[in-house]
């Protein structure tokens, strides 16, 4: 039954993605002032459609714990599955998502991400890449948007050893902004093609104030996210 439900969800997901991606192509031709909010709106429609299909076909729901931040803050989240990007895009209201530059080269997906104002990073660019990320981050914050970053840089399976990259500390320091850690357990239910019925929990933790030293910030961030994530996974 799980495989059948997973197949039905994937069919829905692919159909919705193709229809929206092709039907919204005119958005790519709009100037930034109009194109960015239009692309962000398309992302919300896509996320809602995906999560609806996940609930309807795969029997996976969502539970939110803690206070969802609003406005110009840095949100650092655990990353276990594609669900994380979709759900947090909806919950955070138009976040600027920090992602690998190569993702922008993916047809349709990358085009719309770029139009929506995603912050692309070049892992091989060192200091220059961090400066570009800082400039893009300041622009997003000035627009009143939160910045969403996955500090490990890639998805992790439940129970895998953490691997937090220094980029999140650099962004936190350069922007001088509050950081809200996020724990979740999506990897328990979204495991590749197979989808396990249940309720995914996303937990917004206590904010980390600006101005901390890099080592203290990273220790608080990793400890908070990992401890809460393991608690969620354990049920």
Nearest Cα to Cα of residue 232 among 74, 62, 82, 67: 62
Q: Which helix (H) or strand (E) holds 102?
A: none
Q: What angle do CA 103, 195, 232 make, to 5 degrees?
A: 90
Nearest Cα to Cα of residue 83 among 191, 212, 164: 191
Domain ranges across the chain: 60-234
- Could you tell me the pLDDT band of residue 124, with boundaries at 50, 70 and 90? low
- Averaged pLDDT for residues 30-57: 93
Q: Within a 13 Å sphere around the CA of 87, how many CA atoms are in the beta-carbon half?
A: 29
Strand 147-149 versus strand 96-100 pairing type: parallel
Residue 130 pLDDT > 80, yes or no?
no
- Averaged pLDDT for residues 61-70: 96
Q: Which helix (H) or strand (E) holds 183?
A: strand 179-184
User: For the segment 152-168, what is each residue's pLDDT rounded down to a tens digit?
Assistant: 988 999 989 999 998 89
Q: What is the pLDDT of residue 136?
A: 87
Average pLDDT over the chain, rounded to whole? 92
Residue 8 pLDDT > 60, yes or no?
yes
Greater pLDDT, 101 or 148: 148
Q: How far is residue 95 CA from its own chain's centroid? A: 8
User: For the segment 75-121, what is each residue's pLDDT rounded down to a tens digit?
Assistant: 999 999 999 999 999 999 889 999 888 888 888 888 898 888 888 87
């Amino acid at each position: 039954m799980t495989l059948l439900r997973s197949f039905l969800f994937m069919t829905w997901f692919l159909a919705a993605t193709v229809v929206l991606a092709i039907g919204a192509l005119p958005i790519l031709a709009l100037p930034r002032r109009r194109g960015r909010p239009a692309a962000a709106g398309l992302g919300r429609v896509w996320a809602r459609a995906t999560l609806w299909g996940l609930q309807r076909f795969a029997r996976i729901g969502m539970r939110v714990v803690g206070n969802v931040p609003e406005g110009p803050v840095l949100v650092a989240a655990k990353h276990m599955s594609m669900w994380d990007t979709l759900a947090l895009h909806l919950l955070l209201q138009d976040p600027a998502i920090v992602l690998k530059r190569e993702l922008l080269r993916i047809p349709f997906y990358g085009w719309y991400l770029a139009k929506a104002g995603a912050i692309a990073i070049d892992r091989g660019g060192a200091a220059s890449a961090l400066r570009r990320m800082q400039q893009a981050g300041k622009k997003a914050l000035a627009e009143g948007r939160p910045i969403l970053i996955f500090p490990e840089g890639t998805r992790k399976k439940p129970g895998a050893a953490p691997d937090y990259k220094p980029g999140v500390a650099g962004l936190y320091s350069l922007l001088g902004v509050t950081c809200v850690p996020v724990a979740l357990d999506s990897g328990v239910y979204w495991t590749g093609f197979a989808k396990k019925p249940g309720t995914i929990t996303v937990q917004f933790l206590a904010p980390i104030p600006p101005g901390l030293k890099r080592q203290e910030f990273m220790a608080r961030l990793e400890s908070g996210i990992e401890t809460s994530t393991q608690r969620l996974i354990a049920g």
